[in-house]
Amino acid sequence: MLWSERTWAEIPADLGAAGHAAILPVGATEQHGPHMGTGMDAVLADILCKAVSERTKVPMLPTMFYGCSIGHSRRWPGTIALQPITLINLVKDIGDWAYHSGVRRLFMVNTHVTNAAPLRCALEMLRAEHDDMMVALVNSATVSKRVREFHFADGDDWHANDAETALMLARAPEMVRPDVQKEADDPDRTDGLVFAHPVNRTSLNGVTGTPSRATAENGNIWFDWMVEDLSTLILKGLKENPPLEHSYFESSG
């Protein structure tokens, strides 16, 4: 159910069979410590949403490999970041064209924490313009209680940590340098802070957490949880309708 592999003659029937829904995976290209490839977020978005698309039969739009990563600074090479307004406009354009192809339920699945605010802005713009389009923003790390718990186990400001490293060891091992992984731990220094500081002022090596603990065994279990819980959420969304049918564009009078 990959949108990019379907023809224009096939897509209308695909959407019709899937509640006119589509999944948009949104990742990033950014430093992930000395032990992991810069595409980690995008790789996770891609493999996670492919698995969910296969399970739910909801078409998956092409994965976005760039995101709002400006908080990672220029201290470490490899980050390719979009400004928030660029991401907002990009996702708005994608949503507009998806709408005109027949999408009426759009699930944005985000695997990079600081994409959330721009994606929420795009959501606001899309639903205001398209009265019969429902848009959901799902942050993969908090899709369920059990998924949240393993992501946040080694720090509230986690990055390139146990969770992310384990997921890559399990499903994309070429992304991890195991010899470096064992020495890459760096603690969360953000507890109790008032301001949101960029990563260059909170981490020595771009990591927040304990990637040394990561195992492929845990990663396989956790990935399966993410697929199951995200699929459950999307299947629930396929049955949802607005509580009221009032038009966005017309007054009650």
**Domains of the chain: residue spans and CATH:** 13-234 (3.40.50.10310)
Check if the beta carbon of residue 208 is closer than 8 Å to that of residue 157: yes
Q: Give the whole-angstrom CA distance, residue 239 versus residue 105.
A: 10
Q: Give the whole-angstrom CA distance, residue 68 versus residue 79.
A: 10
Task: Kindly report the average pLDDT of the chain as a whole number.
Answer: 97
Per the confidence metrics, is the pTM higher than 0.75? Answer: yes
Kindly report, residue by residue over 144-187, the tens digit of the pLDDT.
999 999 999 999 999 999 999 999 999 999 999 999 999 999 99
- Mean per-residue pLDDT for 81-101? 98
Beta strands in 140-249 (DSSP E): none
Kindly report, residue by residue over 96-112, the tens digit of the pLDDT.
999 999 999 999 999 99
Q: Give the pLDDT band (50/70/90) at residue 5.
A: very high
Check if the beta carbon of residue 132 is closer than 8 Å to that of residue 104: yes
- What integer pLDDT is reported at residue 251 of this predicted model? 83
Q: How many CB atoms lie within 10 A of CB 81?
A: 20
- Mean per-residue pLDDT for 181-207? 97
**Element spanning 182, H or E:** none
Q: Does pLDDT of 250 surpass 90?
A: no
- What integer pLDDT is reported at residue 253 of this predicted model? 58
- Name the burial class of residue 220, with classes exposed (0-12), middle (13-18) and buried (19+) by CB atoms within 10 angstroms of its CB: middle
